[in-house]
Chains A and B, each alone.
Chain A
Amino acid sequence: MATLYKTAKSEYQDVDDVLEEREKRSDIKQRILMVASRGVTFRQRHLMNDLEVLLPHSKKESKVEAKQDIDILNELAEIQNCNNVFYFEARKHQDLYLWIARAPSGPSVKFHVQNIHTMDELKMTGNCLRGSRPVLSFDSNFDSEPHLQLLKEIFTQTFGVPKGARKSKPFFDHVFTFSVVDGRIWFRNFQIVEKDAQTGGDMAKNAKPTLVEIGPRFVLNTIRIFEGSFGGPTLYENPRYISPNVVRAAVRSQKATKYASRVADTQDREARARANPLPSDPLKDVFE
């Protein structure tokens, strides 16, 4: 009996210790759920995979169909023990929207993702450790507007790998840059090279490190910021956002007007010809 009691007690203590240690280790606990909607194209899916590889504190879920009932994502996040959700919503097999939401209480942001380049492209020659922590570099434009301040805070908490996160490595060998240009947010990922480019040896003491792009690249155009998670009252609406549907429709209508104007022109010409008939030639019958 005594031994039984002892083992039970020690087990109990172990659990306590583990819990305590976990508490100590992760003062901030961020976990991201990565979900794509059905109908993502391969490039969009690869972008998601890239982000999953770069962010070791993320958890990928299988595709969901959440067109009507977007609240389901909050439940998924709860099940997966995640407090952030990246929802990649594809529309019409071509447009990608990214929801970044803090589950379950909000806020959440909806972006339109443009100019996607994934890590698979051979143009980007950098590489980094899987699970190393990134330096997050923000453009100081982020401090100019309240909504940008909020976005900066959200990015810091989601894209930053928490210290001591599972599967993470305690080194810094890449940097995520977030810049505001043209009212949109441009994301880049660079490797930090601290070696001499020519010799491959150690650098001189005061030399600056160099950066080599790893990828992916994308541009986030903010659409709306909501107070709740996937919904709730709108706090911010981007006045410069134009839906890709509207753009496409405009292009189409432009093409349509081209045809309509041509038809109108021919009708005009015919009407003109009818209104101004040629005067009859007085010498027409001279040789007959």
Chain B
Amino acid sequence: MSDDEQMYDEAMMEDEETALEIAALQSEDLLPPPKKEFINHKVALRALVDELSQKSLNWIQRCDVTSTEPIVVDKTENDLDRELKFYQQGLEAVIQAQLEVKKVGVPFSRPDDYFAEMVKSDAHMARIRQKLLDQQKGIQNSEEAKKQRELRKYGKKIEQEKLKEREDQKKASLDKIATIKKRLRSGDLGEVDDFEIDVASDDDGGNTKAKGARGKKGKDGKPMANKKRQLKNDKFGFGGKKRGLKKNTAESTSDMSGFSQKRNKSANFSAVHQRGKTKRPGKSKRQRTN
């Protein structure tokens, strides 16, 4: 084989390869190329329509109605629009049919006392009704829940306002008391008590409170332990069963009443902060300073 011939052969092979590549690329297109010719024998079809036609029959035997307007739907996927068009077409046909039937003098709708087997059984219709009822109920329930949620939100606001009001009142009355006390101390008591407050009794109350802070007297005359002490007594000693008290129970584990998300996330509660903040200095350091 001469050099020329070899060159020619190689060129041919390359050509073939490129052709194959192109074919492969084309075959990757999603759908096969559409057929060029589609059969549509309009003449034959028309002839067939004429042959089959039963136009000569009375309307009451054919019962067909053609709409006046052709259906045009912009987007087939739009279910609501499409179904509405179908509905309108059907309704138009029904009204037309009623007129036609009236012309012939045949009853259109069945009389009320005409009972016969229906297409859907009673049991099936009961299921349909039940489903409708359930749907309605669901809607009602969700609406009720929505309302309750709103109410709760509103109720919280009201509660907060009330609390604030109470606090303000308390503060105001305390202020008044303080001013009165000041006046009393300075001996400048006016003839008229503008605030209409029983000063003496209020003073008494203040005293008892002060005493209470120092320690209430128990039944036996000894001062009663404060709340913290009481709790600790309950927990660690002074009567009652001790065994298993410190153990967690299912309830105590699931009890989240002492937990506040807000507090947990707050900066001065987080472990990192605490480590930095409250570090007790070492013993030597303490001794040095003291």
Contact of A209 among B31, B38, B94 (CB under 8 A): B94
Residue of A nearest to B92 (CB): A137
- 20 more contacts with CB within 8 A, not counting A128-B119, A131-B116, A180-B70, are A27-B57, A27-B61, A128-B118, A139-B66, A142-B66, A149-B46, A153-B49, A153-B53, A153-B54, A161-B63, A171-B107, A177-B90, A188-B86, A194-B109, A234-B39, A235-B39, A242-B31, A246-B32, A250-B30, A253-B28
Residues of A within 8 A of B67 (CB): 137-140
Residue in B54, B61, B83 whose beta carbon sits within 8 Å of that of A163 in the complex:
B61
A137 touches B52 (CB 8 A): no
Residues of A within 8 Å of B, CB-based: how many? 76
Interface 1/0 per residue, A226-238 and B, CB below 8 Å: 0100000011111
Contact present for A136 and B119 (CB under 8 Å): no
Complex contact A125–B39 (CB within 8 A):
no
**B178 contacts the other chain (Cβ, under 8 Å)?**
no
Closest to A169 in B: B116
Contacting residues, chain B, for A64 (C-beta < 8 A): none
Q: Give every chain B residue within 8 A of A253 (Cβ-Cβ).
A: 28, 30
For B35-51 the 0/1 string (1 means CB < 8 A from A) is: 10011111011101100
- The yes or no answer to A257 lying at the interface (CB within 8 A) is yes
Q: Per-residue 0/1 for A117-155: is the Cβ within 8 Å of any B Cβ (1 yes, 0 no)?
A: 001101001011111111111111111101101101110
Contact status of A125 and B119, CB under 8 A, knowing A136-B65, A209-B91, A237-B38: no
B236 at the interface (CB under 8 A from A): no
Cross-interface CB contact of B82 among A142, A181, A208, cutoff 8 Å:
A181
- The 8 A CB mask of A155-176 against B (1 = contact, 0 = none) is 0110011110000011111010
In the complex, A211 has a CB within 8 A of chain B: yes
Q: Are B63 and A134 in contact (CB under 8 A)?
A: yes
Known: A138-B67, A211-B90. A235 touches B131 (CB 8 A): no
List residues of chain B with CB under 8 Å of any chain A CB. Answer: 28, 30-32, 34-35, 38-42, 44-46, 48-49, 52-54, 57, 60-71, 73, 76, 82-83, 85-87, 89-95, 97-98, 101, 106-110, 114, 116-120, 124-125, 127-128, 131-132
Q: Is A235 a contact of B120 with CB atoms below 8 Å?
A: no
Give A131 Cβ to nearest chain B Cβ, in Å: 8
Question: Which residues of chain B are near A138, meaning CB under 8 Å?
Answer: 64-67, 93
Most buried by B among A53, A139, A211: A139
CB distance B45 to A146 under 8 Å? yes
Complex CA distance for A147 and B41, rounded to whole angstroms: 9
Check A28 against B57 for contact (C-beta < 8 Å): yes
Least Cβ distance of B139 to chain A in Å?
Answer: 16
User: Is the pair A137, B119 in contact by a Cβ cutoff of 8 Å?
Assistant: no
Across-interface contacts of A53 in B (CB, < 8 A): 119
Nearest to A238 among chain B residues (CB) is B38
Contacts of A211 in B (CB 8 A): 87, 90-91, 94
- Report if A177-B93 is in contact (Cβ < 8 Å); known contacts: A127-B119, A139-B71: yes
Pairwise interchain contact A235-B44, C-beta atoms closer than 8 A = yes
Check B52–A154 contact: CB distance below 8 A: yes
Q: Are B93 and A171 in contact (CB under 8 A)?
A: no
Contact (Cβ within 8 A) A173 B109? yes
CA distance A144 to B49 in the complex (A): 13
Q: Of A144, A149, A172, which one neighbours B101 at CB under 8 angstroms?
A: A172
- Is A77 part of the contact surface with B, judged by Cβ < 8 Å? no
Chain B residues with Cβ under 8 A from A227's Cβ?
A: 44, 48
A113: chain B residues at CB < 8 Å are: none
Q: Is the CB of B90 within 8 A of A235?
A: no
Chain A: which residue is nearest B121 at the CB level?
A127
Given contacts A138-B66, A160-B64, contact A175 B71 (CB under 8 A): no
How far apart are A264's CB and chain B's nearest CB, in angstroms?
12
Partner of B63, one of A27, A102, A133: A133
Cβ of A225 within 8 Å of any chain B Cβ, yes or no, is yes
Contacting residues, chain B, for A234 (C-beta < 8 A): 39
**Selected A-B contacts with CB under 8 Å, 17 pairs:** A125-B128, A129-B117, A136-B65, A137-B65, A140-B68, A141-B70, A153-B49, A156-B54, A156-B62, A179-B86, A179-B89, A181-B73, A194-B109, A209-B98, A211-B87, A227-B44, A236-B41
Q: How far is the CA of A132 from the CA of B111 in the complex (A)?
A: 13
Asked if residues A179 and B85 are in contact (CB atoms below 8 Å), the reply is: yes
Is B48 touching A137 in the complex (CB atoms < 8 A)?
A: no
Interchain CB contact under 8 A, B120 and A127: yes
* B127 partner, pick from A122, A134, A143, beta carbons under 8 A: A122
A186 within 8 A of B: yes
Question: Is B71 within 8 A of A181, CB to CB?
Answer: yes
Nearest CB of chain B from residue A285's CB, rounded to whole Å: 46
Which residues of chain B come closer than 8 Å to A135, judged between CB atoms?
63, 65, 93-94, 97
Would you give the shortest CB distance from A186 to chain B, in whole angstroms? 7
The residue that B90 contacts in the complex, of A149, A175, A181, with Cβ under 8 A, is A175
Q: Distance in Å from the Cβ of B112 to the closest Cβ of chain A? A: 9
Bound complex: CA A253 to CA B116 (Å): 55
The reply to whether B39 and A236 form a contact with Cβ atoms under 8 Å apart is yes
Min CB–CB distance B44 → chain A (angstroms): 5
Please indicate which of the listed interface residues B63, B67, B68, B127 has the most CB atoms of chain A within 10 Å of its own CB: B63
Most buried by B among A122, A135, A156, A250: A135
Q: Does A54 count as interface, using CB distance less than 8 angstroms? A: yes
Contact of A237 among B40, B95, B124 (CB under 8 A): B40
